[in-house]
Amino acid sequence: SKRNGRNQFAFYFDDLKLETNKGILIDHELRQAIKNNDFTLNYQPKVDLKKNAVIGFEALVRWNNDKLGFVSPGIFIPYAEETGLIIPLSELIIEQACLDWIKLDRLGNGHLSIAINISSIHFHQENFIDSIQQILERNNCSPRNFELELTERTVMNNERETIRKLVLLKQLGFKLSIDDFGTGYSSLSYLVQFPLNYLKIDQSFIQLIGSLNEKQAVVDAIIQMAHRLHMEVIAEGVEQKEQVELLRNMGCDMIQGYYYSKPMPIREAIDYLEFWKLEIEG
Ligand code: C2E
Ligand code: CA
Ligand code: CA
Ligand code: CA
């Protein structure tokens, strides 16, 4: 009926207004949060299956806001990208990762690397390499201890410029990963051209490998292909022992996921390393 239609419209309109207000609020709060450096980083271990050792951590940003509560990066990173706030935010994140790596180093874990997620918007800025290099230098950190995680979407954009940047970053000593592999473009030609160290298989492929033979076949094929192209493979979102065993049998190099640990504050991450050593020794 007409009446019903009007109600639906009203609902839709209210939702839209709510969304817009929420967007304005997030935007405003993000600006404040950047000024106050209200962000922290949590660290999730990457475990090398052959060495049976933690070889590094992925840094994942966390934001707990007075008004909005805990906001997931899956929500606020896209907002920051839309408004350009991603640039100052990324700089804060890289700086914090340096400070945390220094904490690792002071406790004898300087051989571990920290992986930083790089937004496409940041990567494609003209001065991206200068800006990241400056932050590292200011903190007496070397690119050798950092890994940059770039999504397929990021590297598929502006190919020539991308290759130039990746080659330069690699020369500087950064390790380079392709993140969320399998969720973006289907073209694989870039894998041959780009100097990538690691391929991270997206968690959507990992979740069903125990029960779906087709998923297993795809993961197996990705691992073989990556190895032929001299890349190491990291499986993300691994939650079960059965998945670890399947991945080990397929020759997967590294595992990341709740099976080993959720992302945690740097202090806990350092404790986790001690715990891990005790487990291995005893
Ligand atoms: P991502 O880079 O693919 O990160 C992996 C996400 O999976 C993280 O969510 C992590 O907490 C979650 N995860 C890890 N292990 C498991 C598991 O075993 N099971 C399940 N279900 N999930 C697992 P998070 O921290 O919420 O981050 C979401 C996304 O936000 C990231 O996806 C990344 O795209 C973005 N992001 C996070 N931190 C940063 C950052 O510092 N900078 C930028 N540019 N983006 C970030
Ligand atoms: Ca990532
Ligand atoms: Ca990922
Ligand atoms: Ca993801």
Neighbours of ion ligand 3 (CB under 5 A): 179-180
Least Cα distance to 113 among 197, 195, 38 occurs for 197
Residue 14 predicted with pLDDT over 80: no
Beta carbon of 105 within 6 Å of any ligand 1 atom: no
Cα–chain center distance at 152: 12
- Please list all protein residues whose beta carbon sits less than 5 angstroms from ligand 4, which is an ion: 180
Res 65: pLDDT = 94
Testing ligand 1's pocket by substitution, the residue of 42, 43, 58, 60 carrying the most ligand atoms inside 8 A of its CB is 60
Residue appearing with tokens 């001690």: 274
**Ligand 1 in contact with 45 (CB < 6 A)?**
no
Ligand 1 mean position to 282 CA, how many Å? 32
pLDDT of 157 above 90: no
Å from CA of 15 to ligand 3 middle: 30
Q: Where is pLDDT greater, at 210 or 14?
A: 210
Ligand 1 centre to CA of 237 (Å) is: 9
For 256-269, what is each residue's pLDDT tens digit?
A: 999 999 999 999 99
Q: Whose CA is closest to 219, among 184, 247, 193, 244?
A: 247
**Atom nearest to 263 CA in ligand 1:** 11
pLDDT tens readout for residues 217-247:
999 999 999 999 999 999 999 999 999 999 9
Contact partners, residue 31, CB within 8 Å, separation at least 6? 85
208 vs 180: CA distance, rounded Å: 16
Closest-CA residue, ligand 1 atom 11, reads 263
Query: For position 187, what pLDDT does the model report?
Result: 66
Least confident range of 82-91, 105-114, 137-146, 200-209: 200-209
Q: What is the DSSP string of the chain?
A: -HHHHHHHHHHHHHHHHHHHHHHHHHHHHHHHHHHHT-EEEEEEEEEETTTTEEEEEEEEEEEEETTTEEE-HHHHHHHHHHHTTHHHHHHHHHHHHHHHHHHHHHTT-TT-EEEEE--HHHHTSTTHHHHHHHHHHHTT--GGGEEEEEEHHHHTSSHHHHHHHHHHHHHHT-EEEEEEETSS----HHHHHS--SEEEE-HHHHTTTTT-HHHHHHHHHHHHHHHHTT-EEEE-S---HHHHHHHHHTT--EE-STTT---B-HHHHHHHHHHHHHHHH-
Mean pLDDT lowest among 21-25, 90-94, 100-104, 229-233:
21-25
Q: Find the 175 Cα to ligand 4 centroid distance in Å.
A: 19
pLDDT, average across residues 132-140 = 98
Prediction ipTM score: 0.98
For the cut 60, the answer to whether the pLDDT of residue 9 exceeds it is no
Which amino acid residue places its CA nearest to atom 34 of ligand 1? 74
The atom number, within ligand 1, closest to the CA of 59 reads 41
Mean pLDDT computed over 168-192: 88
Mean pLDDT (the chain) is 91
Q: pLDDT at residue 141 above 90?
A: yes
Share of the chain above pLDDT 70, in %: 92
pLDDT of the residue at 186: 59
**Confidence tier at 159 by pLDDT (50, 70, 90):** confident
Neighbour tally for 177: CB within 10 Å: 23
Contact, 98 vs 139, CB < 8 A?
Answer: yes
pLDDT of residue 215: 83
Least confident of 100-104, 157-161, 162-166: 157-161
Q: Ligand 4 center to residue 183 CA distance, Å?
A: 9
Per-residue pLDDT of 188-218, as tens digits, reads 778 888 999 999 999 999 988 877 788 899 9
Q: Which residues pair with 69 in a beta bridge?
A: 65
